[in-house]
Amino acid sequence: MPSKKITIKQGKKRTPASQTAVFEEILKHAQAINHYQLRLYITGTTERSSQAIANIRSLCEEFLKGHYDLEVIDIYQQPIEAGKQQIIAAPTLVKELPVPPKRLIGNLADRDKVLVGLNLKAENVAEIDESETKWVKV
């Protein structure tokens, strides 16, 4: 019976430079995971719409700078888009990424509720008062 030749290959040792490259690649993926994709549905140039836009932009710049995309959609100008997303009230903020998706209805004035909904602050029911801002499970 002929003998089989077994060869064991050992992996290359990583040099510090290649370890750095691996770390940088992992970091890129981690940033992509923590990237927020938001859509704000508004109704024209009303005061509530303007407040919602200002509130979410302020929060995003303060807490998510460089890690978010915010698309503002006027449901009067794009009613089909609002219909696709089944938007029944405005302003409505839809957080698509990171998962799970959530919807926030109101002018986004309650910063604590918005931060909890975006998973940027731990939920503490005692701190959050009842207001016009409500998160809804999608």
For 89-114, the pLDDT digits (tens) are 999 999 999 888 999 999 999 999 99
- Binned at pLDDT 50, 70 and 90, residue 133 comes out as low
Q: Is residue 104 within 8 Å of residue 134, measured between CB atoms?
A: yes
Q: Is residue 136 within 8 Å of residue 93, measured between CB atoms?
A: no
What's the confidence (pLDDT) of residue 80? Answer: 94
- Binned at pLDDT 50, 70 and 90, residue 18 comes out as confident
What pTM was estimated for this model as a whole?
0.67
What's the confidence (pLDDT) of residue 128? Answer: 44
Pick the CATH number of 35-137 from 3.30.70.920, 3.20.20.70, 2.130.10.30, 3.40.30.10: 3.40.30.10
Domain-by-domain residue ranges, the chain?
35-137
Sheet holding 92-97, edge to edge: 68-74, 36-42, 92-97, 102-105, 134-137
